Amino acid sequence: MVDIVFVDHDGSEHKVEARSGSTVMLAAVTNGVPGIDADCGGSCSCATCHVFVHEDWIEKVGKRNPTEEAMLSLNPDRKTNSRLSCQIPVSEELNGLIVTTPEFQF
Ligand code: FES
């Protein structure tokens, strides 16, 4: 299992376990993490699974795909470390990953 820490905009932490091969979004939804609605179910068409990746993890998480990039371009709260969590596959290399959920998603 892979540990992932979701940090709310107010600093509250939610540590969850995720299976390799799943996604960061599914780890959040399965464990009831607030601020991740995932309205489209992971098809990269709603952007309600937006997270900010901690700077220590940006390289390991990898780059946005083109569809994700297009979705995030519509989001006024986008930052350089923005990702759609449904587009981040969980792998053992991400054990300890830290992401923050945006305030507007609460
Ligand atoms: Fe809809 Fe990620 S769940 S874009």
Q: What is the pLDDT of residues 24-63, one digit of tens each?
A: 999 999 999 999 999 999 999 999 999 999 999 999 999 9
pTM score of the predicted model: 0.96
What is the distance in A from the centroid of ligand 1 to the CA of 33? 15
What pLDDT is recorded for position 104?
Answer: 83
What is the distance in A from the centroid of ligand 1 to the CA of 94? 20
Q: Which residues contact 27 (CB under 8 A, 6 or more apart)?
A: 4, 16, 17, 18, 33, 90
